[in-house]
Amino acid sequence: MTRGGRIIRGGTGFMLGLMAGAAFAQTPSVPSLPSAPPLPAAPGKPSAKVKPSVPAPDPAYETARIAFEALPEPERKGLQDALVWTGDYNSVINGAFGRRSYEALQAYARRSGGTGLPDAAGRAALLKEGAAARAAARFTVKPDPASGVVLGVPERLLPKRLPQPGGTRWQSADGRITLETKSEPPGETGLEAVFARITAPGPERRVTYKILRPDFLVVTAETGTGKSYIRYAAGEAGLRGIALGYDKALAGEVDRLAIAIANSFVPFPPASPGPAPLPAQTRKSVPVATGLVVAPGRVLTSAAALGSCRAPAVGGAPARVAKGAGGELVMLETGPLTGHAPVLPAIRATALTAGEAVLVLGADAEGGVAVAPGEAEDGPQRIGAPLQPGAGGAPVLDRSGALVGLVASFPASPRLVAGIVPPARYGLVPAGIVAAVLETAGLEEAGLKARALPKGAGTLSAAAATLSGAVVAITCQP
């Protein structure tokens, strides 16, 4: 137990260095525990004076410290940030010199053929290397209006963005990396309750680090295949936090990004009164439906999803309704669609069973894909899922990546909770009808073949990768 809170460690992990640094960034310093009183001397014997052990000074360390502290603060912070991106530094970016900064500089120097603190040319090279890695990830630090926080998002790896209650979710194209922002209004819940919930024991989840203080918490955990980092801060505006989860197989790249994200996180930036309401959605910018590119210039969607839209558009260009589909589906003819590869989906031959996990790939207003997990309902061809506007016509997949149908429609005036549509039930256009339309269209005769299920099929994240590149947003022109 420490004064002001508690620290509990279990196991080790890549974040421990970060926890000792970045977890304390933007929080008051914690006073040290008072030292224990000396033991009384034995009766009749004078107390022995023990000289405290003082470590011998390290000349190399002292030389590097003096040189580092002579630099302007912006450059010191810039060097620490660059060392994060080169994979050498895993602590807070504050411009202060410590053992971690020293070891990171030594590691970088060994790789670049130098020793100690790099000279001016070496520092310029380090800053350039860090900036290149940062740019390659498209790491952008900006406010998140939905939660009120400021954070950095590696947009190259996390192209999908989806609003959620009190925050935003970013995901990789295959669903193996997820970053979320979260917020709770004052009085709704407290750090203690959140801490108890996210550290509760589970059969497949092992907490590797946890710390709870009056104004913040940090928890890292692992499962057999995944890693996670959760951080919350408390203030007058309530609770605000971030949660990062990813596949262990990606740890080599994402561990470094996790440190950069944690260092960029500002839960209560200046002049931040609270989460802003979601921007007004207009008919022009928000998709009215989702389409699946099944051939060059041909997009399949649900007829009911388009509703009364008489001028559909894909990629900002007008799309013409082709003849031949009819009934529950519509085939749109478009121009070339850059960045979207046509895919003929593998069709599931059997009906869904109640409770079976599914995945919905809907288009979002940012041009990405909103991945929503769901499950089959008791009724035939019905699912329950947290879908958002524009999900009508979205493909629905099972764990193998096979198509089980398209979302038939999305309500024109859905019920909203905090600006977000809560989980609801949706009907499907069955996969059999989709197969019949594709066959009638003669796509296989045109040289397109239904794709084989990918290696490693069997997880929802693998299923998402099978069709995400063929999902497009359909808008309605005025």
Q: How confident is the model at residue 273 (pLDDT cuts 50, 70, 90)?
A: low
Which residue from 256, 230, 227 is spatially nearest to 136, judged by alpha carbons?
256
Q: Which two tokens stand for residue 267?
A: 């839960």
Rounded to the nearest 10 degrees, the angle between the axes of helix 73-85 and helix 59-69 is 120
Range 113-123 average pLDDT: 79
pLDDT at 169: 94
> Burial level of 31, CB count in 10 A (0-12/13-18/19+)?
exposed
> Per-residue pLDDT averaged across 283-309, rounded?
84
Domain limits, CATH 2.40.10.120, in the chain: 289-476
| Sign of the C-alpha dihedral computed for residues 295, 297, 302 and 303 taken in this order | negative
Of the candidates 478, 477, 476, 474, the residue with the CA atom closest to the CA atom of residue 314: 474
What is the mean predicted confidence (pLDDT) over 285-296? 86
CATH placement of domain 139-264:
3.40.1000.10
| Per-residue pLDDT, 3 | 36
Residues of the chain with CATH 3.40.1000.10: 139-264
> What is the model's pLDDT at position 27?
37
pLDDT for residue 233: 95
Q: How far is CA 460 from CA 8, 290, 342, 385, in A?
A: 33, 19, 21, 14
Beta bridge partners of 318: 313
Higher pLDDT, 397 or 276: 397
Task: Show Cβ contacts of residue 117 under 8 Å, excluding neighbours closer than 6 positions.
Answer: 63, 64, 67, 68, 105, 109, 123
> Within a 10 A sphere around the Cβ of 377, how many other Cβ atoms?
18
pLDDT exceeds cutoff 90 at 182: yes
28 pLDDT tier (thresholds 50, 70, 90): very low
The reported pLDDT for the residue numbered 444 is: 57
Burial label, 143 (beta-carbon count in 10 A; 0-12, 13-18, 19+): middle
Q: CA-to-CA distance for 311 and 320, rounded, in angstroms?
A: 8
Q: How would residue 464 be classed by pLDDT, with cut points 50, 70 and 90?
A: low
Predicted confidence (pLDDT) per residue in 247-256, tens digit? 999 988 888 8
Average pLDDT on 340-361 reads: 85
Q: Give me the pLDDT at residue 468, please.
A: 74
Domain 289-476 top-level CATH class: mainly beta
Q: Give the pair of three-digit tokens for residue 377.
A: 């309902």
What's the pLDDT band for 167 if we cut at 50, 70, 90? very high
What's residue 267's pLDDT? Answer: 94
Residue 46 has pLDDT above 80, yes or no: no
442-458 average pLDDT score: 51
Q: For the purposes of burial, counting CB atoms within 10 Å of the CB of 16, is it exposed (0-12), middle (13-18) or buried (19 or more)?
A: middle
